[in-house]
A and B are shown apart, each in its own frame.
Chain A
Amino acid sequence: MLRTQQLEYTYPGNKTITFPDIQCEKGSQWLLLGQSGTGKTTLLHLLGGIRKPQKGKVYVAGQELNNLSSTALDQFRGKNIGIVFQQSHFVQALTVGENLQLAQTLAGHSADSSRIKNLLDRLNIGDKINDRTNRLSQGEQQRVAIARALVNSPGLILADEPTSALDDENCKEVIDLLETQAKEEGATLVIVTHDSRLKAFFDHKIILQ
């Protein structure tokens, strides 16, 4: 499902990071661990097609991301990759439901309100569908972010430090949600983090140096 080959990224200051090759099967769940400065977020952006590597290749569902034009890559990302960020950001002017709808339409799907309702119910925030996102608690916002990553049933879910701002209890809950929802959707899950609390939950681990 997800495969990298001799991935290398050079920052503007000429600092180059070489990443280990990764190969994740469909439906598998991975933890990418590393301290600050090891290029965790850069790797996640490379995997998600948000940033282009100077060297090496990233394959998602058999498609080499570098071969796609900018617009095609945007579409591909929208359809096949769901990303959960450390800070939950949303389109402020829209409600929870509308934010999910936007994710559907931007990916080129038609709006599917029953799918949205269903997903929010599964994440226990069905009653927040018409709330503005800035009215939600941090935990609720994180759930909406997960719902948004899942809404188009992507094959790959990437999460960037999804738990670092959360206490132990919420941390466990979010990880549980990600695990179960990814499993339910049959999606491959890759979590990038420095949060060592998560080590216990995952069998597949890649340590970045």
Chain B
Amino acid sequence: MNPLTLSWKNQKDRPLQMLLTLLLFGLGVGLISLLISLNTQLDEKFKNNLAGIDLVIGAKGSPLQMILSSMYHIDAPTGNISIKEVKPFLNPKHPLVKLAVPLSLGDSYKTFRIIGTTHEYVDSIFKESVATGKLWDRLYEVTIGANVASKTNLKIGDQFHSSHGFTDDGINTHDHGEGFKVVGILNKSNTVLDQLILTNTQSVWAVHDHEAEEKKAPADAPEGEHDHDHDHDHADHSDHDHGEHDHGEHDHAAHEGHDHDAHDHSKHDHAAAPVFKPLTAYPDKDITTLLVRYRNKKDWRALNMPRSINENTDLQAASPAIEMNRLYSMMGVGTDALRNLALIIVVVSGLSIFISLFSSLKDRKYELALMRVMGASRGYLFFLIILEGLLFAIMGYLLGLLLSHGGMALLSGYLEEAYQYEFSGWRFFKEEFWLLGGSLVIGFLAALIPAFQAYRTDISETLTTY
């Protein structure tokens, strides 16, 4: 019978005590491991998504909110800015700005955000490319992120209607006008790009213009077979019941065939070549934010740019790195508190290992003396008790990992919705290896005094007094 089997059987003999000790230890370890996992994964995702963006320019409001909404696509945007306000930055000859990528937010499909932007967002900012298909170029064409494809089952050629806002409540669906059409799927990049639906800025405008136009002149239906019911009250948008809307009558084929020239805006012309004017040609249109990369980060004029924008214009400029550091320091208080709580739990569970071993030793004193009589040395008994402490620690550690990674796997769905990233429950981190070391040290320390007691057992005295 080897000492490990003996330790195990000794513990198994008192299952309730063992369960309590293990649960306590497992909870402590689990909490720490969960924090490690969350922190590391969040940190990674945030870093990945910085993507070399030096400055975000948008509407005045909370700078953190602006960064979260346009870099990480978590929060709501702060508002819109008109193109004429940001025109100087869109000038390719701007002395400080190397790259300025516009983002237009506002719509979503099944909670995945639809972003109106330019190809530079994919090519230059994330340096990614399509896995299949191509990047959008015509109006209403979209290229979707890898996770969007896998979660919604959208394929190339599929069409869908977007919803207003970022929730999937089925109320605010833009189900008139053109559907978006998938023309490409991006490579998986482990960035926020995986969760986005990308199109050009004009498409985002067009969805809303189309709607606005229908609101303005509901009775003025275009000629042709475009015969779906326009009589319902578009102005009372939030109240009207789309459930009653008969989609069966929605003759899409006819719809697409109908003469858009009747609307009299050329960009609706699907047949036309996909040539868009630069955004600066639409000074009165809005975008949400502009992502800026400097020519030279160390240029003092570039460093002064955010301040001068904030002071002299109605725009707001914020540096993602600074805002994220601010966020970290705010969250840090919470994680520190949680981490300390976890440490306390672990220390208490170490204490419970100690008490468990110590009290069991009282009952087992005679057994230990007997084992000495049978040939066990003092060192063997010492080793045996230490082994029991380590065994508790290892089992508690494994239980903790199971709890944290299992919990993370369960949480990941919720987190993905909240943070727009995929979290994996089954990724392991090198910190968890250190955690194992820490657990073993605690198990060892907790067993030290009981083991020393076992070592010092006087056999003769024990055998005569018990």
Contact = CB atoms under 8 A, between A and B. Distances in A.
Contact of B373 (A50, A79, A101): A50
A151 to B, nearest CB: 9
A205 interface: no
B366 A102 contact: no
A93 B364 CA distance: 10
B371 A79 contact: no
A77 B12 contact: no
Nearest to A160: B463
Contacts of A70: 377-378
B13 interface: yes
Contact of B377 (A51, A74, A148): A74
Interface in A89-118: 89-94, 98, 101-103, 105-108, 111
A92 B1 contact: no
A71 B374 contact: no
Nearest to B366: A89
A88 to B, nearest CB: 10
B9 A51 contact: no
Contact of A45 (B9, B374, B380, B460): B460
Contact of A94 (B9, B377, B379): B9
A93 B13 contact: yes
A105 B377 CA distance: 12
A41 interface: yes
Interface string B422-435: 00000000000000
Contacts of A50: 372-373, 459-460, 463
A75 interface: yes
A173 B370 CA distance: 24
Nearest to A45: B460
A126 B9 CA distance: 22
B155 to A, nearest CB: 61
A89 B370 contact: yes
B367 interface: yes
Interface string A37-54: 000010001001011000
B376 interface: yes
Contact of A77 (B1, B367, B373, B464): B373
A91 B367 contact: yes
A205 B361 CA distance: 39
A36 to B, nearest CB: 12
Contacts of B463: 45, 50, 85
Contacts of B1: 94, 98, 101-102, 105, 111
A71 to B, nearest CB: 4
Contacts of A148: 374
A90 B370 CA distance: 8
Nearest to A69: B377
Contacts of B364: 92
A77 B372 CA distance: 9
Given A45-B463, A50-B463, A102-B6, A92 B378 contact: no
A162 interface: no
A143 to B, nearest CB: 17
Given A50-B373, A93-B9, A71 B367 contact: no
A179 to B, nearest CB: 22
A32 interface: no
Given A89-B366, A94-B9, A106 B375 contact: yes
Given A102-B1, A102-B6, A71 B378 contact: yes
Contacts of B366: 89
Contact of A83 (B363, B373, B464): B373
Given A89-B366, A94-B9, A102-B1, A78 B374 contact: yes
A148 B376 CA distance: 14
A119 to B, nearest CB: 15
Contacts of B124: none
Contacts of A79: 375
A50 B460 CA distance: 6
B377 A92 contact: no
Interface string B3-28: 00010011011000000000000000
Interface in B360-395: 363-364, 366-367, 370-380
A106 B380 CA distance: 9
A93 B8 CA distance: 9
Given A45-B463, A50-B460, A71-B379, A102 B10 contact: no
Interface string A48-89: 101100000000000000000011001101110001010101
Contacts of A98: 1, 9
Nearest to A74: B377
Contacts of A106: 371, 374-376, 380
Interface of B: 1-2, 6, 9-10, 12-13, 363-364, 366-367, 370-380, 459-460, 463-464, 466
16 contacts: A41-B464, A45-B463, A75-B375, A77-B374, A78-B375, A79-B375, A89-B370, A89-B466, A92-B364, A93-B13, A94-B1, A98-B1, A102-B1, A103-B374, A106-B380, A108-B375
